[in-house]
Amino acid sequence: MKPHSLALLVVLLVTTSCAHADADPEPVETRPTAEALSLLREWDHRRARAWADGDTAALAGLYTRGSRTGSHDRAMLAAYAARGLRVTGLRTQVLNATLRSWAPGRITLEITDRVVGAHAVGRGVRIPLPRDRPSTRVISLRRVSGQWRVGEVTDAGRRRRSGPRSGPGTGSPPLPAPLGAG
């Protein structure tokens, strides 16, 4: 190999090596965060089915016993059902996620999300519900009887627990009051 070819090869190798060394490494918690988000996504799908079916029992099974968030969620579902309405097309868009903690049987995530695509439907009625604004919340999940359940959902901007969030997102945005509510 000619000396100038060897020098060029060395420069290319050093430059390439340095470029990779300076690149931002993938955060260590990427894999656990992805796994936690996958669990939350499955939970969201089961919750959307419960809302679409008007099934308060299925919804109750998604929360830990005594969960204020779960109680409020069931009350909102019951209010829609009492007016002959279900909520369909419920989708939660996760815009940002941070894994706060992961211990055996417990996960805490900070999530920025919004609800899109939901409709209140009933006999001869299909009303699109407003698109939610992004909001950031802390979601605590616990593994109970082999299933991940939500304990509480709190506002991430507050240090102490906030009251339960309502509506069919991931502890997500409140839906408007059920149609016909005074």
User: For residue range 58-70, what is the model confidence (pLDDT) as tens digits?
Assistant: 999 999 999 999 9
Which band of pLDDT confidence, cut at 50, 70 and 90, is reported for residue 32?
confident
Segments making up each domain of the chain, as ranges: 29-155
pLDDT band at 131 (very low <50, low <70, confident <90, very high): confident
Average pLDDT over residues 40-65: 96
Which residues, 6+ apart, have CB-to-CB distance to 77 below 8 Å?
50, 51, 54, 56, 59, 87, 168
State the pLDDT at residue 2. Answer: 59
pLDDT for the residue numbered 35: 92
Q: Is 31 or 108 the better-scoring residue by pLDDT?
A: 108
Topology of domain 29-155 in CATH is Nuclear Transport Factor 2; Chain: A, (3.10.450)
DSSP result, 33-98? HHHHHHHHHHHHHHHHHHHHHT-HHHHHTTB-TT-HHHHHHHHHHHHHHHTT-EEES-EEEEEEEE
Q: Residue 125 pLDDT more than 50?
A: yes
Distance CA 121, CA 53 (A): 11
What pLDDT is attached to residue 143? 96
What distance in Å separates the CA atoms of residue 145 and residue 52, rounded to the nearest whole number? Answer: 25
**Residue that wins the pLDDT comparison between 22 and 56:** 56
Are the C-beta atoms of residues 164 and 152 closer than 8 Å to each other?
yes
Helix (H) or strand (E) holding 22: helix 3-22
